[in-house]
Amino acid sequence: MSKICILTASPIRDLPIDNLIADKLKEKGHEVFIRPCLREGRNSLLELQPDVIVVPPIRNPYARDFAEDCKRFGCAVVTRHTEASCDWQDFKSMNQQDKIGIVGAFRYDVDCEIVWGEDEAQILRQRGCKFPVISVGSFAADVYKTQKILDSCMTKEVLFQKHGLDLNKPLMVIFSAWGFIDASPDLHVDEQTMCSKDEQGRTIWLAMIKDVWTKYKDKYNILVTIHPNIDKIPYENFLKPLNIPLNADSHAVDLIKNCDLLIHGGSTAAMGAHFLNKPTLQYGDQNQKGGWFGRAETALSKIAPYAKTVDDLLAKIETVEFGKSNADEAMIKALETGRYGNMDGKATERAAEIIDKLTGKFKFVWPLAHRDYDQLLMFKQPERIVIEQGCGVCQSRFYRVNPQWIQQLVVSMKITPEQLKMVQTQPCCPQCAARFVETT
């Protein structure tokens, strides 16, 4: 038996999934604790002293350093991806900077990495990491295919009473897009924010909500929800004069189960609605920004009928059939074979099987300081800036600048491709000038 700590990335979005994993690990005899990761992760490590720790995906130097500390304390570390990343088609369509965002801008060391789809696993294995990367399928599907979760959902009566809604009118839930705007301002890091890209989109989205409210306020209850960890104030300031309630603390499954119509901007919620036989409509396409999706024409943005304009959206609302999914089955299948992986509702079970096999033993050691947060000029890991190689002729060892680091400099310093070519030369041995053969 091991003491296992699961650190939840988003208590609203991820806690139901982490609870399922915890239940399955407890059935195997483990002692399991679930704690929030943000702001509490390090304290939980020292308080609980677990043998195995499950952390969210490692996307920044702080998360990397925390995983490194856990390893030094003797913990087995598994990183569980909380969202689907990309499939091969998306990855091949990305520019170099976005590909770096997928594979990571720096190296990290864990005992295992658990991801959704097999395409994503194959892409991450190309990094040459020493730990296994294993796909288990869509964690999101488990939430909608587990009767225990559905039975524990908030009832319609409770939800309607909470927001002062009319039980005699159908409920339209609008899932706000642009999930990074105003996110966790106390944890804000300039180099990692996407807020500057989101503000214009949020303005457009709020204007759409007002138009929908103007036409359908007498026919529908309208409820707006925001992405986890989002600042509520901008939304409250806009919605309060319209008397539109804002939900900021419920899991998506609670809202989808009790709604009659869902409006979104190209969200995973459309897939959940399909599993629960609820119609959805998509306004705009938040995925056309690129990033992890690589292409605007991603299957995630083709699940639901698409409205490019507000007038088109208003017209489509008239055509929906309550209690019936209007999702494109071909797009659901495309997601299952690509980005999301198996959607049989057993991803958490497969994840628990992997975590069950990890072994560790906590031991206290004095923590180290970490000092390479600027990511361009100060490094703990030499391999981030140079790669050791060998000459196949004179057998000497030498170093080559890491192309990934050069690419980061190119993006940061706004160097043009033409300027970059001026410093790129034919590789050869610095000792004997022979064209070398790389060795490991």
334-387 per-position pLDDT tens digit: 999 998 999 999 999 999 999 999 999 999 888 776 655 555 666 767 777 888
Average pLDDT of span 16-33: 97
Contact 305, 281 (CB under 8 A): yes
Fold designation for 3-138+345-356: Rossmann fold (3.40.50)
| 195 confidence band (pLDDT: 50, 70, 90) | very low
Measured distance CA(172)–CA(100) in Å, rounded: 38
In the chain, ranges of CATH 3.40.50.2000 domains = 156-333
pLDDT in tens, 271-292: 999 999 999 999 977 666 554 5
Measured distance CA(59)–CA(266) in Å, rounded: 23
Q: Which amino acid is at 300?
A: L
pLDDT(119) > 70: yes
pLDDT(440) > 60: no
pLDDT(192) > 50: no
pLDDT score recorded for residue 389: 84
Average pLDDT of span 295-299: 69
Q: With 0-12 CB in 10 A as exposed, 13-18 as middle and 19+ as buried, what is 284?
A: buried
Average pLDDT of span 206-225: 96
| 422 confidence band (pLDDT: 50, 70, 90) | low
Residue 307 bridge partners (DSSP): 283
Q: Output 230 or 439, whichever has higher pLDDT.
A: 230
Pairing type for strands 52-55 and 76-80 reads: parallel
Give SS3 for 334.
helix
- Beta-strand (E) ranges in 266-347? 280-283, 306-307
Q: Which amino acid is at 92?
A: K
For 156-333, give the CATH class: alpha beta
For tokens 């569980």, what's the residue?
80
Buried b (16+ CB within 10 A) or exposed e, 343-377: bebbbbbbbbebbbebebebeeeeeeeeebeebee
Q: Output 3 or 188, whichever has higher pLDDT.
A: 3
Contact 117, 135 (CB under 8 A): yes
| 166 confidence band (pLDDT: 50, 70, 90) | very high
What phi and psi values does residue 263 have, to the nearest 5 degrees?
-115, 135
pLDDT in tens, 27-82: 999 999 999 998 889 999 999 999 999 999 998 888 888 999 999 999 999 999 99
Average pLDDT, the chain: 86
pLDDT score recorded for residue 424: 57
Straight-line distance from the first to the last Cα atom of the chain, in angstroms, rounded to the nearest whole number: 39
Contact 143, 272 (CB under 8 A): yes
In the chain, ranges of CATH 3.40.50.2300 domains = 3-138+345-356
Report the predicted TM-score, pTM, of the whole model to 2 decimal places: 0.78
Give SS3 for 5.
strand
